[in-house]
Amino acid sequence: MALMESRNQALWQARERFVPRGVAQAHPVFVARAQGVRLWDVDGREYLDFAGGIGVMNVGHGHPRVLQAVRAQLERFTHVCFQVTPYEPYVRLAERLALMTPGDFPKKTLFLTTGAEAVENAVKIARAYTNRPAVVALTHSFHGRTLLGMSLTGKASYYKQNFGPFAPEVYHAPAPYPYRGVSEAQALEGLEELFRTQVDPERVAAVILEPVLGEGGFIPLSPEYLRAVRRLTAAHGILLVADEIQSGFGRTGRMWAIEHSGVVPDLLTFAKSVAAGLPLSGVVGRSEVMDAPQPGGLGGTYAGNPLACAAGLAVLEVFAEERLLEKAEALGRRLWEGLERLKARFPQVGEVRGLGPMVALELVRDPVGKEPAPELAQRVLEAARARGLILLKAGMFGNVLRVLVPLVASLEEVEEGLGRLEGALEVSV
């Protein structure tokens, strides 16, 4: 990739010398500062950030309330380890999240550091509670880069490479993908066929799914599909785990994407936007399920770091005070209108899909054959960057452009970003 400015060039050369190539970059742009919905690189160029650190910055970069909370906690202490001497921010945030997740029953919250840790611990908890070994995930899914996370992830390219052998007792059922010919009925039949041919459902501890498949290409699972899976898991005593790591914290217009369906999971994993960029993740779920592991079975040295918990409490205040869920719905409507307009203009936009402001474009070579166009997606990504817009790709074929604009964005900023995307499509198709 060509680098236009000298400081970016120098840093990129250092990156290539000292950082492994496996740590890929979507953009060869080194960020110097960020505020709200905007980034500035080391050469002073400004960008609209429609990636949000992969869905982390739902309250925007540098929100004053978050910074104030972190600074205040920084003056008290930065680390003591919750398993050694507990502290109030952990407990207060655990309480808030237990009360605001779906389900009218007692819940408890475990904090960790990364999304992959949250997934791994959800599986540990499910296995401890059910005394069963197997876990079912979906194709096109993404659940992390650890051994179990990779094993659960339903995409081989990039993420699995030659990193095996993978964790045992992990099975994959087909994800619904109507645009590519996999209906919800077929996906449900695939899950039942899995139970008939590969793993007895009485051996399955949990089914884990993303209510909106993130890395898989922003494929929303419909309320009807989610309800059918919930009925099936309940019939076999299987726990349902909602992976809300990317789709949570208002990304779809509700605090949790699963809320659109009315389905209540047994466990829910979260990370990303919970702490506005500070490393924090966790699992929240039924108290009796969360209490299944014995003391010492859960935790981590940095799990629930006090700075991150303080940021998490501030994030919830921002959501309440700025009515971000209402704002997210308005942003979603505007994004859908703009992207549908692009679809009408450019036949290479095969589908606009997603849920609320978690929305994406699938690019194809032609709208009839629907052949994926990853090279077009890359050209648009680069042309958008040249126009000052940061986007990300996704999807099994790398042909999906996803939008993760911070929820604090104004409608004017959204319109500005859509205009830059339209310009990028104009020169790329």
Residue 385 maps to a domain: yes
What pLDDT score was predicted for residue 1? Answer: 45
CA angle 175, 126, 190 (to 5 degrees): 25
Same domain, 173 and 194: yes
Whether 4 shows a pLDDT value over 90: the answer reads no
What pLDDT score was predicted for residue 138? Answer: 98
Instruction: Respond yes or no: is residue 243 known to be catalytic.
Output: yes
Pull the structure tokens for residue 281.
């993740």
18-55 b/e with 16+ CB inside 10 Å = b? eeeeeeeeebbbbeeebebbbbebbbeeebbbbbbbbb
What pLDDT score was predicted for residue 284? Answer: 98
Same domain, 317 and 340: no
Instruction: Respond yes or no: is residue 142 known to be catalytic.
Output: yes
The radius of gyration computed from the CA coordinates of the chain, to the nearest angstrom, equals 21
What pLDDT score was predicted for residue 156? Answer: 82
Q: What is the DSSP letter of 325?
A: H
d(CA 109, CA 99): 10
Separation of CA 348 from chain center:
26
Pull the structure tokens for residue 74.
């920084």
Please give the average per-residue pLDDT across 102-126, as a whole number: 98
Same domain, 102 and 27: no
What pLDDT score was predicted for residue 3? Answer: 44
The residue from 107, 155, 272, 393 that is catalytic is 272
Instruction: Respond yes or no: is residue 108 known to be catalytic.
Output: no
- Name beta bridge partners: 394: 400
The residue from 111, 142, 218, 346 that is catalytic is 142
Same domain, 140 and 279: yes
How many beta carbons lie within 10 A of that of residue 81, not counting itself? 16
How many beta carbons lie within 10 A of that of residue 189, not counting itself? 13
Please give the average per-residue pLDDT across 15-29, as a whole number: 96
Please give the average per-residue pLDDT across 85-112, as a whole number: 98
Counted domains in the chain? 2
Among 321, 346, 379, residue at a domain's last position: 321
What pLDDT score was predicted for residue 157? Answer: 78
| Confidence at 58, pLDDT banded by 50, 70, 90 | very high
Same domain, 238 and 370: no
Residue 124 maps to a domain: yes
| Confidence at 326, pLDDT banded by 50, 70, 90 | very high
Same domain, 260 and 164: yes
Please give the average per-residue pLDDT across 272-281, as a whole number: 98
| Confidence at 127, pLDDT banded by 50, 70, 90 | very high
Note the pTM of the prediction, 2 decimals: 0.96
Same domain, 314 and 200: yes
Please give the average per-residue pLDDT across 276-293, as a whole number: 98
Residue 381 maps to a domain: yes
The residue from 41, 49, 243, 266 that is catalytic is 243
Residue with tokens 């401890």: 128
What is the average pLDDT score of the chain? 97
Residue 316 maps to a domain: yes
Same domain, 126 and 273: yes
What's the CATH code of the domain at 344? 3.90.1150.10
Strands 267-270 and 239-243: parallel
Same domain, 45 and 108: no
Same domain, 152 and 167: yes
Same domain, 111 and 16: no
- The secondary structure of 342-401 as a DSSP string is HHHH-TTEEEEEEETTEEEEEEBS-TTT--B-HHHHHHHHHHHHHTTEE-EEESTTS-EE
* CB 358 within 8 Å of CB 99: no
Please give the average per-residue pLDDT across 40-56, as a whole number: 97
Residue 361 neighbours by CB under 8 Å, 6+ apart: 339, 342, 343, 349, 351, 352, 400, 401
List the domain range (segments joined by +) for residue 351: 6-62+323-428
Among 321, 340, 371, residue at a domain's last position: 321
Please give the average per-residue pLDDT across 80-107, as a whole number: 98
Residue 1 maps to a domain: no
Same domain, 186 and 258: yes
